[in-house]
A and B are shown apart, each in its own frame.
Chain A
Amino acid sequence: MAEETMQQPPAANPNEPSANAKKYAWTVPPAKTAILSHRVERVDGPAKVSGAARYTYDINRPGMLWARAIRSPHPHAKIVEIDFSAAKQAPGVRGVLAWKDPGAEVMYQGDVVAAVAADSEDHARDAARLVKITYETLPFSVREASSKDPATPKIFATGNTRPGQATDVGDVAAAFKSAAHVYEATYDTQVITHVCLETHGAVCEWTGDKLTAWVTTQGVHGVRQQLAAALKIPEANVRVICEYMGGGFGSKIAADASVVIPARLALVTGAPVKMMFDRKEEHLDTGNRPSAFSKVRAGVSADGKCVAFEAETWGTGGAGQGAQFPLPYIYQFANRKRAHLDVYINAGNQRPMRAPGHPQGCFATEVLMDELADLVKMDPLEFRLKNLPPTAPDAMWGEYFKIGAKKFGWDKRRATGEGGKGHLRTGMGVSACQWGGGGRAGNAHVDILPDGSVVVKVGTQDIGTGARTVVGIVAADTLGVPLSTVKAQIGDTDLPFAGASGGSTTTAGISPAIRIAAGRAKEALLARLAPSLGGDASKLEIVNGRVQVKGGGKSLTWKAACKLLGQEPISIDNAWEPGLSSVNTSGVQFAEVTVDTETGIVKVDRVLAIQDCGLVIDTLTAESQVYGGVISSINFALFEDRLLDRRTGQMVNPNMEHYLLASIADVPKVEVMLMNMPERGVIGIGEPPTVPTASAIANAVRNATGATLRSLPLHPHRVLAALEAHKAGRKA
């Protein structure tokens, strides 16, 4: 593999900076820029807080109908009959649709069977209840343990489990023999759902054979492709729009039932159709983060080197989806072996969720690291430093641990179990993360119009990260004009293609294209202006919206300059090119908690997050990504838990009441240190910050109380049980 890469000529290296990338290289350091890397408020902030921003939920079309899905109440059953007769007679009903046919099986509670469209949301709901579906119920499993049990009858056509990829590196047996300490423990994390504030849904409207779909999505172009395929119509006939959207976290990448159903019902009824899922549907059928179980054996040398690792892992991604996660995470075990099993249960399928797999692998590894550090009587931070991969621009943990320790006051951390005398114990924990990021799918179109307007068109979408602001900043900074001059157009398949916003790839995918297109546009503009400004375009510059001759002389306001374009604007397209973006980020987080040992309640007091993401485009929105990531991870650590009733297979908490989420008052002080690395180009930051917080919290609880929590969430019942076990000298 390595050899093959080396034999390739350098020109074929896709990471070799292109000529344009060299020509339009980022201005660094940020101290030299006008807005790039500064603290810029979201350009659409006022629209969002005033309600002017229109989300899919806000789209209403003349004559629009509402659709409602009918879903299986059973975790596993065969559909015998679907009877729409009563529903068709219900007030306001205009159309019905069978999503599955009799004879087909439903594999989980919430699996879609049919849908209705009616003239109001209430009528659609009432009518949906009148669709009579006869089921033949079938055996089911909603627990990983029972699906793994060979005695359980076969529920899934391909078997109840599927072995994942196994790894075997080095000589594990010998390494364990040589290890001074061998330690065994089992770690597990729960299934959680995405809980997007704006639920999944779409508004679909046909004009002749052309379909316009307003979809709350992370990828307008991908949804167009999939929607066209599902409807068997040309992609050219489909336009997908998503101006604003209320969160996806990985669950809104594909054209799922929430898009295809309204499109088909709109065709059947001849009217625009809107369908928005409710909270229960969201929990049941729009994805989740798989569970992860890790039965681990680890060996360390007397001087604190991790030498051997062996794990049996499993998890469930629902009714037929995988549950892979990286393990061991970040830290180096020279000899390691792992076998993984995907376990199927009768529950909604997983979808990518913010750093898929990483929070799970991070939890098992980071808690283990603290336990191993104790075995060799080392400070957990020292122990980590000893077992990290070598420091590199994309592997900065060692540096960050040291910076963070100082900033956080790690020297005040007490020995584990000595977190205080009374019932309130405090402790500190630490953890690390990594993520790829990067991105290549981005095309930009830049217009400089004779009235001075700048329009930047990129067919990306803003999933809450501030993409519209990023588009504006890159263009404005490159052109030398104020941000307010640039009108960023995004969220529409009529705009140049950009990839789905997943994997922290958006900013790295679009920024290079915008940078080069805007750079070329500027050059074209100056060339056209040169005759009026002394004749030499290379002597011209644009600063703060003024076009001027370098070093003094003639100058024009932006407006006056653009007016000279006459009737022909500047219009430039460019695709992503290598050299202005990169991949791989690293980060570390510290957490301090207070544990009430008489109630088992954990309160997070403060979190410090140190994170890099290459070149920071907007410090403010980048920090927001870290805040959001940390808060999500606190929810993962303490609160969220998809609970399935063991007897009926139904979710008992498909709401936001018993499915707990931090309230504002539960959010601690979060300090963010962004490590700007402009020389690396743009990478992306959406995912990594949500990886390590939960593990840092669990380690802080351990430090405070001496009790090790190997299972999430840290609900009081788990914490009390762990405290009890610790007191009794048992391993929980």
Chain B
Amino acid sequence: MKAFAYVSPTTAKDAIAALKAGGIVRPLAGGQDLLARLKDYVETADTLVNVKQALDATVTPAGGGLKIGAAVTLDALSTNPHVIRMYPALAEAAAKVGSPQIRHQGTVGGNLNQRPRCWYFRQEEFVCFKKGGNRCFSVDGENQHHAIFGNDGPSKIVHSSSLAVPAVAYGARFVVAGPNGEREIPAAEYFTLPTMQNVKKENVLGDDELLTHVILPAPGHIRSGHYEVRFKESRDWPMAFATVVVTMNGANVASARVVLGAVAPTPWRSEAAERALVGKPLTQATAEAAAAAAVEGAKPMSQNAYKIQITKTAVVRAILEAAGKRA
């Protein structure tokens, strides 16, 4: 990999200042994504700013919810008793990532900001739209892992963050800090669908900004379920997954959030599935109806139609888990 300068500030303010060092500067957290990209010459950097000392690595109660520092590791997140009790889907998503090594090294900030896993993107030889080229290789190439929703833009990636999906489902807000101070962005608005203008990024974060915290609202009386369809038991990516968060009115669903993962360039909220749940009891039949609604409008590419069935299964099982009936 190309040699780079390395700085390790101890405050968020210094870290943000360091992002302005000139040339290509990248924040480095656990490095599980960034270092691999640099080693494979997918990209190069002039300076890496280690943010693990600078950013918060704690989970603290806040307004009835939780405030999670960007430097919290995935392992710490998945084993935190508050997270497990209040946002079990988030704990489960973190617990299933990669392997124990990756979870001990990888962080919340790094996971949410990781770059695509598209196998063309990950190889230097393929200069696609995301790397300033003028084509997407997946269109007439090997696209079995690519998007079945939101794939009419230039890039057909699926967003690779497992945490992003429950974050959107729980209505999380991301705290972003830059040279001009902090701003809060709802998780659902953080991730962007690719257009020709923004295709080189997957979110609204500026190059001079850092994600510092994830704020989870007070859970109230929600129930949640999370299901990942995984081929291998570890060191692998989910083929499709879903997080479902509902509130109940007696035996019936009062409100619902259904968010799908690994199917679109962003966490993919399915309002159709949500509508299919509201006013209904959490039964197998409702779950199936919601799953059918969730995949309505899917636009598979040449090799990934199988993901529709897999997505349906994830939705059914996530709903049944929310209902306390584990598949």
Listed in ascending order, the chain A residues whose CB lies under 8 Å from chain B are 73, 122, 125-126, 129, 423, 598-601, 638-639, 643, 645-648, 650, 652-655, 657-658, 660, 662-666, 715-717, 720-721
Contact = CB atoms under 8 A, between A and B. Distances in A.
Interface of B: 1-3, 41, 99, 117, 119-120, 122-123, 125-126, 137, 140-142, 144-145, 229-236, 239, 303, 306, 309-310, 312-313, 316, 327
Contacts of A643: 142
B285 to A, nearest CB: 15
Give the secondary structure class of A's interface: loop
Given A129-B41, A660-B231, A663-B235, A600 B310 contact: yes
Contacts of A658: 119, 145
Contact of B231 (A645, A648, A654, A715): A715
Given A598-B309, A716-B310, A652 B233 contact: no
B125 A663 contact: no
A600 B230 CA distance: 11
Contact of A716 (B117, B239, B312): B239
Contacts of B234: 663-666
B229 A599 contact: yes
A663 B137 contact: no
A423 B313 CA distance: 10
A601 B231 contact: yes
B125 A650 contact: yes
Given A645-B142, A648-B141, A653 B119 contact: yes
Contacts of B316: 598
A647 B141 contact: yes
Contacts of A73: 125
Given A663-B232, A716-B310, A648 B2 contact: no
A646 B1 CA distance: 29
B306 A721 contact: yes
Contacts of B309: 598-600, 720
Contacts of A129: 41
Given A599-B313, A601-B229, A664-B234, 16 more contacts: A598-B316, A599-B229, A599-B309, A599-B310, A600-B309, A601-B231, A639-B231, A645-B142, A646-B140, A657-B235, A660-B231, A660-B232, A663-B233, A666-B233, A666-B234, A720-B306
A598 B232 CA distance: 16
A99 B123 CA distance: 24
A129 B312 CA distance: 45
A542 B265 CA distance: 74
A647 B236 CA distance: 26
A646 B141 contact: yes
B233 A598 contact: no
B232 A652 contact: no
Q: Which 5 A-B pairs have the closest CB atoms?
A: A665-B233, A717-B306, A598-B313, A663-B234, A652-B119
Contact of B2 (A126, A600, A665, A666): A126
Contact of A652 (B3, B99, B120, B236): B120
Contacts of B229: 599, 601, 716
The listed residue with most A CB atoms (<10 A of its CB), out of B3, B120, B235, is B235
Contacts of A653: 119
A652 B313 contact: no
A716 B142 contact: no
A501 B84 CA distance: 53
The listed residue with most B CB atoms (<10 A of its CB), out of A639, A645, A654, is A645
B310 A645 contact: no
A463 B177 CA distance: 54
Contact of B232 (A122, A599, A645, A662): A662
A615 to B, nearest CB: 38
A639 B137 contact: no
Contacts of A646: 140-142
A652 B120 CA distance: 7
B231 to A, nearest CB: 6
A645 B142 CA distance: 6
Contacts of A663: 99, 232-236
A655 B42 CA distance: 14
Contacts of B140: 646-647
A265 B144 CA distance: 42
A232 B125 CA distance: 37
A665 B231 CA distance: 12
Given A129-B41, A598-B313, A600-B310, A716 B137 contact: no
A646 B138 CA distance: 10
A676 to B, nearest CB: 34
24 contacts: A122-B1, A129-B41, A598-B312, A598-B313, A599-B229, A599-B309, A600-B309, A638-B231, A639-B232, A645-B120, A646-B140, A647-B140, A647-B141, A648-B141, A652-B120, A653-B119, A660-B231, A660-B236, A664-B234, A666-B232, A716-B229, A717-B144, A717-B303, A720-B310
Nearest to B3: A122
A660 B137 CA distance: 21
Contacts of A662: 232
B231 A652 contact: no
A417 B303 CA distance: 27
